[in-house]
Amino acid sequence: MTGLQRGGAAIVGAAESDLGQVGEGLNPIDLMAQGIARALDDCGLGLGDVDGLLCASTQSRTSGLSLSEYLGISPRYIDTTILGGSSFMFHVAHAVAAIQLGLCEVAVIAYGSTQRSVGRRQASVREVNPFETPYRPFLPSTAYALAASRHMHEFGTTREQMAAVAVAARQWALLNPVAWEKKPLTIPEVLNARMVSYPFTVRDICLVTDGGGAIILTTPDRARSLKKPPVYVLGCGQAITHANISSMPDLTITGALDSGRQAYAMAGLTAKDIDVVELYDAFTINPILFLEDLGFCAKGEGGRFVEDGRIAPGGELPVNTNGGGLSYCHPGMYGLFLLIEAVRQLRGECGDRQIDDAETAIAHGNGGVLSSQSTVILGTPATV
Amino acid sequence: MEQSPLAIYQSHLDKGELAYQWSPVAERAVFYPRLVCPFTGSTLLEWRVASGLGTVHATTVTHPQQGEPYNVALIDCDEGFRLMSRVEDIAPEAVSIGMRVRFRVHRPSGDKAGDEPAYPVFFPAEAAA
């Protein structure tokens, strides 16, 4: 993004809160606070160091107030931008800007959701749209299914190719001890699962879990003195193309094309230079779209690209190494978890799922119904 | 006080018409109806009535946990605007991209009729001949 400095801030702490189905009575602010405490411990900073707070939740209209009160802080810089699951990538760009301008020095980005415990209807209140609601779209699934129908029509993408995305995610999840799903998954099992909105069965669709977490950013100077190697923000980009699927300009081209270009330009990198790829996989069509739009393959080639285990463990391009929203965890707005996994990969903390010699990572967030796209490119100290 | 675009749209539907807006500055159709043109920022928007003919742009069959599966589609109207709707009179899985369709007004019936406004649906254009 124009105006942001490559490597102008670094992620120094990253942690999940409890995930999956959390203890009875825990609320989203509890999970944000738990994630923040763990992320502070991860880098050796304390709550007293935090002067920037960024957070988003669908269960708390004024989460910035609630979280500040809970933590007993009055942050100099506060930002509760909410644009769906990609919100946290937007937060990274805003945190880098705030740190660069001196509006704050230690910024925390936090998320929490108890949508599994309280039910999706409670966690995310449905908004009535007189131009869509009468047709009973099961949102967001129906909207993504409409986009998938165009990809299948224009490029011959198949249900089996989309199922390969779910199978790869499951293979990665089996290497992640905290992943929700614990059993292997096959392509026929995806295809024969309960149909939700054609072409998607329930196995083409992200999980419904609880969960939260936090990441901590600070200046490059301060980052170098902390517990773990800094993970630098090399590039950021963002694009909003629509809110409702009927207004999406082209159902097969997402705003990731634009957000990716901005992030690559800022980072001085291209898709070929990226070692670890974390893409928001709310539905199996998503990674296919984003692999195309972020330049890992040509437009229309995404279905063929994901066949034959290319994005699975041992494949040519590691994608969604934590098991993704499809098999690891998806509390509703998943973007923060992509950033946490990218940080851990670049620090070499990922155990059985660690990518060798990972120096660069892309974490791409999606929000709404392919509506908001935000890309963050991260790098190890060797990349700055 | 300005009448809401939704109320004007709805009053056309009550007369059996599918209305949309036209931006004379952008020379483009605007849908859904609004107070400000998304292409120019102008508040100058004219109301027009569509021919009712369109083409299926995207389609899915949504399977509720209870009840029968149903079609949800995006329709490109010949006047150059797109809307969400459904295609009726054929099996939901028989609706295909590129199919020519024609508009009619769906007026909700049953207990809640009267509370629920009319809305546009489509059916295969060939069947109308």
CB within 8 Å: B82 and A196: no
Decide: helix, strand or coil at residue A307. helix
Q: What is the C-alpha separation between A290 and A305, in angstroms, rounded?
A: 12
Average pLDDT score over residue span B113-127: 85
Q: pLDDT band for B114, please (50, 70, 90 cuts).
A: low
CB within 8 Å: B84 and A132: yes
Q: What is the C-alpha separation between A375 and B20, in angstroms, rounded?
A: 36
Average pLDDT score over residue span B54-80: 97
Structure token pair of residue B80: 């150059």
Give me the residue from A130, A146, A197 closest to B6, CB to CB: A130
Give me the residue from B60, B117, B119 closest to A145, CB to CB: B60
pLDDT above 90: residue B128: no
| Percent of chain B at pLDDT exceeding 70 | 93
User: What is the pLDDT, as a whole number, of residue B113?
Assistant: 55
Give me the residue from B59, B117, B119 closest to A149, CB to CB: B59
| Percent of chain A at pLDDT exceeding 70 | 100
Mutate to test the interface with A, among B84, B103, B112, B115 (most CBs of A within 10 A): B84
User: What is the pLDDT, as a whole number, of residue B116?
Assistant: 82
User: Among all residues of chain B, which has the CA nearest to that of A195?
Assistant: B63
Average pLDDT score over residue span A40-45: 98
Average pLDDT score over residue span B103-107: 97
Residues of B in contact with A251 (CB under 8 A): 57-58, 74
User: What is the pLDDT, as a whole number, of residue B112?
Assistant: 59
User: What is the pLDDT, as a whole number, of residue A194?
Assistant: 98
ipTM topping 0.90: yes
How confident is the model over A287-345, as pLDDT tens digits? 999 999 999 999 999 999 999 999 999 999 999 999 999 999 999 999 999 999 999 99
User: What is the pLDDT, as a whole number, of residue B2?
Assistant: 82
Collect all residues with Cβ–Cβ distance below 8 Å to B86 and sequence separation of at least 6.
A135, B70, B71, B72, B73, B92, B121, B122
